[in-house]
Amino acid sequence: MVDASEFIDEAVEEIREQIGDANAVIALSGGVDSSVAATLAYEAVGDQLTPVYVDTGLMRKGETQGIRETFDFMDSLRIVDATDRYFDALEGVIDPEEKRAVIGEEFIRVFEREARDVDADYLVQGTIYPDRIESEGNIKSHHNVGGLPEAVDFDGIVEPVRDLYKDEVREVARELGLEEVISERMPFPGPGLAVRVVGEVTREKAEVAREACHVVEEELEEYEPWQAFGAVIGKATGVKGDNRVHGWVVAIRSVESRDGMTARAQEIDWETLQRIQSRITGENENVARVVYDVTHKPPATIEYE
Ligand code: XMP
What ligand 1 atom has the least distance to the C-alpha of 257? 24
Which residues fall within 8 angstroms of residue 264, CB to CB, at 6 or more apart? 255, 256, 257, 296, 297
d(CA 70, CA 76): 13
What ligand 1 atom has the least distance to the C-alpha of 144? 15
Which residues fall within 8 angstroms of residue 162, CB to CB, at 6 or more apart? 127, 128, 129, 132
User: Could you read off the pLDDT of 187-246 as tens digits, one per residue?
Assistant: 899 899 999 999 999 999 999 999 999 999 999 999 999 999 999 999 999 998 899 999
pLDDT at residue number 145: 46
Q: For ligand 1, atom 12, which residue shows the shortest CA distance?
A: 189
Say if residues 160 and 11 touch (Cβ distance below 8 Å). Answer: yes
Neighbours of 304 (CB within 10 A): 19
d(CA 166, CA 285): 37
pLDDT at residue number 136: 65
d(CA 155, CA 149): 10
pLDDT at residue number 143: 47
Torsion sign over Cα 76, 32, 251, 107 = positive
Query: Digits of tens for pLDDT over the chain (305 positions)?
Result: 779 999 999 999 999 999 999 999 999 999 999 999 999 999 999 999 999 999 999 999 999 999 999 999 999 999 999 999 999 999 999 999 999 999 999 999 999 999 999 999 999 999 999 888 766 655 555 545 455 667 678 999 999 999 999 899 999 999 999 998 899 889 899 899 999 999 999 999 999 999 999 999 999 999 999 999 999 999 999 998 899 999 999 999 999 998 889 999 999 999 999 999 999 999 998 999 999 999 999 999 999 99
Q: What's the CA-to-centroid distance between 214 and ligand 1, angstroms?
A: 18
What ligand 1 atom has the least distance to the C-alpha of 100? 17
Smallest Cα–Cα separation from 166: which of 124, 138, 217, 130? Answer: 130
Mutate to test the pocket of ligand 1, among 302, 304, 305 (most ligand atoms within 8 A of CB): 302
Q: What's the CA-to-centroid distance between 178 and ligand 1, angstroms?
A: 23
Smallest Cα–Cα separation from 223: which of 186, 188, 249? Answer: 186
d(CA 211, CA 197): 12
Q: 26 - beta bridge partners?
A: 51, 124
pLDDT at residue number 149: 65
β-pairing, 243-256 with 227-240? antiparallel
* Domains of the chain with bracketed CATH: 4-183 (3.40.50.620), 197-292 (3.30.300.10)
Query: What's the distance, CA 262 to chain centroid?
Result: 18
Q: What's the CA-to-centroid distance between 176 and ligand 1, angstroms?
A: 25
Q: 130 - beta bridge partners?
A: none
Measured from CB, residues less than 6 Å from any atom of ligand 1 are 100, 139-140, 142-144, 187, 189-191, 195, 227, 260, 297, 301-303
Tell me the CA distances in angstroms from 269 to 83, 127, 223, 276, one per residue in order. Answer: 37, 35, 10, 11
Tell me the CA distances in angstroms from 155 to 22, 120, 121, 289, one per residue in order. Answer: 10, 9, 5, 51
Q: For ligand 1, atom 6, which residue shows the shortest CA distance?
A: 260
Mutate to test the pocket of ligand 1, among 60, 303, 304, 305 (most ligand atoms within 8 A of CB): 303
Q: For ligand 1, atom 4, which residue shows the shortest CA distance?
A: 302
β-pairing, 243-256 with 264-265? antiparallel
d(CA 98, CA 268): 34
pLDDT at residue number 240: 87
pLDDT at residue number 138: 52
Smallest Cα–Cα separation from 245: which of 209, 275, 289? Answer: 289
